[in-house]
Amino acid sequence: MTKADTVWGTTHNGLPQPIRGTEGATILGPRNVPLERANPDLLAPPRTDHGTVPNLKFSYAAAHNRVLSGGWAREVTARELPIATELAGVNMRLKPGGIRELHWHKEAEWAYMLAGRARITAIDAGGRNFIDDVGEGDLWNFPAGIPHSIQGLEEGCEFLLVFDDGNFSENATFLLTEWFERTPREVLAKNFGLPQKAFAALPRDVDYTRYIFDGELPGPLASDTVRSPAGEVPKSFSYRLSAQKPVQVAGGQVRVVDSSNFPAATTIAAALVEVEPGGLRELHWHPNTDEWQYYIAGQARMTVFASSGRARTFDYQAGDVGYVPFAMGHYVENIGDEPLRFLEVFRSAYFADISLSQWMALTPPALVQAHLNLDPKAIAALPKGKPLIVR
């Protein structure tokens, strides 16, 4: 495949145009060329696209960014991508020593470390605590209602958070400082067995900076550990996904993580997919839930088959969010010249997909031939295993 093959449209005077062969015409009015270049399959869709399919893409580059003393955070929820009702995502950066305030929320929090290192802490309802240092390629999962914190280590960090509710907002969490501010001082004193003057310096509304704020770098993990009388949590809240042996296939590799190998993650499953240039995450669908995607590196094209003859094609780059509603067929193709890396994330305890080629290979050949008029030899050559990624 050449780069020219990766765009269905054409160019005129060096600009992308909504033209397919003899169809379409040049743009005469105002236009946003950088946006058009990033979405060539929206500007000039392949002829196989048909009907009306909702938008299935939103870029973090277009999201509102909340910038504070210790870093920043930007989110993609059902507000930004209305079709994404099952899951929401937050992209967050912490400076060295930067702290994501002690907090909790009604939703489970699943995370993938994109860069750097962080220290995470939590306790469960049994008073058992957890503390760990996580680095690039590691995961964590805090079940709903579990209080926790995140702090950047020497090099700072950036990570992706995924929550099991599309309407979740990171700006609506239960914050430690806000609870203290909204509780009478005499109640705080009685609760903690301290004099009221001990709470005189609590942060006020006018100087709230604690959501993401500057902090001192923590010491070695061992020196920061607090021993609980109840012991440690029985299921680790972190997981070393990068250390997991991938499933190697001809066109790339896949690492799957769900409750079977990360028991703390009971509501979110995921696959880290790497597709070589020219490779294809095969035609498939998921029989259990919607798919929320995050593109880490490379360039991708995805066509989603929405039933009733409808289909729509989208282009994705690093930092984009993609979405595939429940049971819709799709593929993800690497259209760049570098490896494509992306996350498939699901609101489910387990990962599941159905391969189109495997379905055909395990169906009586005469039945397949009657539907598609394929050469019987071609049907016999279909792999009975699950390819996952093909060249």
Check if the beta carbon of residue 293 is closer than 8 Å to that of residue 59.
Answer: no
pLDDT of residue 205: 66
Q: How confident is the model at residue 3 (pLDDT cuts 50, 70, 90)?
A: very low
d(CA 42, CA 57): 11
pLDDT of residue 14: 83
Q: Which residue among 80, 86, 274, 344 is the active-site one? A: 344
pLDDT of residue 2: 39
User: Which of 89-93, 224-228, 321-325 is predicted with the least confidence, judged by mean pLDDT?
Assistant: 224-228
**Tokens standing for residue 4:** 């020219």
How many residues are there in the chain? 391
Residues in Cβ contact with 207 at an 8 Å cutoff, skipping those fewer than 6 apart:
none
Q: Which of 389, 332, 352, 321 is nearest to 83 (CA)?
A: 321
344 is catalytic: yes
d(CA 158, CA 309): 41
pLDDT of residue 171: 86
pLDDT of residue 169: 94
Residues in Cβ contact with 185 at an 8 Å cutoff, skipping those fewer than 6 apart:
196, 199
d(CA 57, CA 98): 30
DSSP H or E run through 14: none
Q: Which of 77, 236, 73, 275 is nearest to 142 (CA)?
A: 236
Task: Identify the sign of the CA torsion 181, 187, 189, 193.
Answer: negative
Check if the beta carbon of residue 308 is closer than 8 Å to that of residue 51.
Answer: yes
Kindly report the backbone phi and psi dihedral angles of residue 262, in degrees, each rounded to the nearest multiple of 5, phi listed first: -135, 80
Check if the beta carbon of residue 163 is closer than 8 Å to that of residue 108.
Answer: yes
Task: Read off the pLDDT of each residue in 114-119 and give the average, rounded to a whole number.
Answer: 98
Q: Which of 243, 264, 237, 266 is nearest to 255 (CA)?
A: 243
d(CA 53, CA 39): 16
Residue ranges of domains in the chain, CATH in brackets: 3-47 (no CATH), 65-239 (2.60.120.10), 244-390 (2.60.120.10)
Please, which residues bridge with residue 293 across strands?
A: 322, 344
- Three-state SS at 135: strand
Check if the beta carbon of residue 109 is closer than 8 Å to that of residue 141.
Answer: yes
Chain mean pLDDT for the chain: 94
Please, which residues bridge with residue 323 across strands?
A: 292
pLDDT at 134 over 50: yes
- How many Å is the maximal CA-CA distance in the chain? 85
Q: How confident is the model at residue 228 (pLDDT cuts 50, 70, 90)?
A: very high
d(CA 152, CA 156): 5
For 170-205, write each residue's pLDDT tens digit: 988 999 999 999 999 999 999 999 999 999 998 876
pLDDT at 276 over 50: yes
pLDDT of residue 204: 77
For 352-361, write each residue's pLDDT tens digit: 999 999 999 9
Q: How confident is the model at residue 119 (pLDDT cuts 50, 70, 90)?
A: very high
For 287-303, write each residue's pLDDT tens digit: 999 999 999 999 999 99
Please, which residues bridge with residue 232 across strands?
A: 129
Q: Which of 345, 347, 325 is nearest to 267 (CA)?
A: 347
Check if the beta carbon of residue 291 is closer than 8 Å to that of residue 346.
Answer: yes
pLDDT at 242 over 70: yes
Please, which residues bridge with residue 92 across strands?
A: 73, 159
pLDDT at 7 over 80: no
Task: Read off the pLDDT of each residue in 83-93 and give the average, rounded to a whole number.
Answer: 98
pLDDT at 11 over 90: no
Query: Given its phi and psi angles, is residue 331 left (phi above 0), alpha (psi -120 to 50 degrees) or beta?
Result: beta
Q: What is the DSSP string of 227-277?
A: --TT-B-SS-SEE-GGGSPPEEETTEEEEEESTTT-TT-SS-EEEEEEE-T
The pTM of this model reads 0.94
Check if the beta carbon of residue 282 is closer than 8 Å to that of residue 354.
Answer: no
d(CA 337, CA 5): 13
